[in-house]
């Protein structure tokens, strides 16, 4: 059994996998505190496997692909964790559900500005989510009284730390709500297996000039826990 998966570990063996093939949901997080918050929210629901994939899109993609390659039972892959929020779109302690997952720095710098891999003709920096599920999740989070917005979540390789880069990203992806570092990797691995993906983030900090002291990780982890409680209902 996966030692990271306390939700499954806390159930009697008969209950684990009871839902059968293609009923399970894989939740990928980056670090142990995110896993623990997700597990608290899921409250021992045996349909979910919660796994740590590491920080960054490459680590997340490799970890997710390995898990999916050795287990055919999943019907959905979710990337969950904390994130930076664009001011005016997603405030600290609020939740963001991705309507699109975008690798915002995957491309080339040119004299005319940033050119995405899409524009370069080398594939796509965008992965679509399960739109129906994302909308239902957003509605249910709202109904539960949680502060939530739906919008593009950017995947970046470097945490944004200046006002200039913040403005550049906001202009590159109009409506961008949050940035994190793994969504594109997790969603690309899911897509390569023909599986739908979701990304759900809780905002720990405002995107902008770096101020690590201002990160409110505990508030974000509490919001992530609440979101995962609602997630059980959405997927029931
Ligand atoms: O220090 C802690 O207690 C702690 C607890 C949970 C998570 C962390 C992390 O530092 C996780 C890094 C993770 O967070 C995402 N993230 C959060 N804010 C941003 C941001 O402004 N820009 C990009 N990524 C962000 C990211 O996905 C990292 O993997 C620490």
- Round the average pLDDT of the chain to a whole number and report it: 93
| pLDDT tens figures, 9-52 | 333 333 334 444 578 999 999 999 999 999 999 999 999 999 99
Report CA(135)–ligand 1 centroid distance (Å).
Answer: 25
- Please give the pLDDT value at position 126: 98
- 62 C-alpha vs ligand 1 centroid, how far in Å? 19
Q: Where are the domains of the chain?
A: 3-234
**pTM > 0.90:** yes
The three-state secondary structure class of 176 is coil
CB atoms within 10 A of CB 112: 6
Measured from the CA of 182, which atom of ligand 1 is nearest? 27
Please tell me if the CB atom of residue 161 comes closer than 6 angstroms to any atom of ligand 1: no
Decide: 155 in ligand 1 pocket, CB within 6 A: no
How many percent of the chain have pLDDT more than 70? 91
Any atom of ligand 1 within 6 Å of the Cβ of 204: yes
Assign domain 3-234 one CATH number from 3.40.50.2300, 3.90.1150.10, 1.20.1630.10, 3.40.50.1580: 3.40.50.1580
pLDDT of 222 over the 80 cut: yes
Does the beta carbon of 180 sit less than 6 angstroms from any atom of ligand 1? Answer: yes
Q: Decide if pLDDT at 7 tops 60.
A: no
pLDDT at 72: 86
* Nearest alpha carbon to residue 155 among 203, 83, 93: 83
How distant, in Å, are the alpha carbons of 63, 65, 229, 233 from that of 51?
9, 12, 17, 20
Cβ 33 under 6 angstroms from ligand 1: yes
Question: Is the CB of 82 inside a 6 Å radius of any atom of ligand 1?
Answer: yes
Distance from Cα 153 to the centre of ligand 1, integer Å: 14
């Amino acid at each position: 059994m996966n030692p990271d998966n306390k939700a499954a570990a806390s159930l009697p063996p008969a209950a684990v996998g009871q839902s059968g093939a293609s009923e399970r949901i894989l939740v990928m997080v980056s670090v142990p505190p995110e896993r623990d918050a997700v597990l608290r929210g899921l409250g021992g629901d045996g349909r979910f496997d919660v796994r740590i994939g590491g920080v960054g899109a490459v680590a997340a993609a490799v970890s997710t692909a390995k898990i999916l390659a050795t287990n055919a039972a999943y019907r959905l892959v979710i990337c969950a964790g904390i994130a930076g929020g664009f001011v005016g779109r997603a405030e600290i302690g609020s939740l963001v559900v991705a309507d699109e997952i975008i690798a915002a720095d995957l491309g080339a710098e040119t004299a005319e500005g940033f050119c995405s891999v899409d524009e370069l003709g080398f594939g796509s920096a965008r992965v679509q989510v399960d739109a129906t599920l994302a909308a239902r999740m957003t509605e249910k989070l709202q109904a539960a009284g949680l502060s939530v917005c739906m919008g593009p979540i950017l995947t970046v390789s470097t945490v944004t730390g200046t006002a200039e880069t913040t403005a550049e990203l906001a202009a590159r992806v109009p409506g961008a709500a949050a940035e994190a570092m793994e969504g594109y990797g997790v969603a690309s691995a899911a897509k390569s297996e023909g599986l739908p993906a979701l990304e759900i983030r809780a905002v720990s900090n405002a995107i902008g000039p770096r101020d690590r002291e201002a990160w409110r990780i505990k508030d974000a982890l509490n919001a992530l826990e609440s979101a995962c409680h609602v997630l059980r209902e959405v997927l029931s």
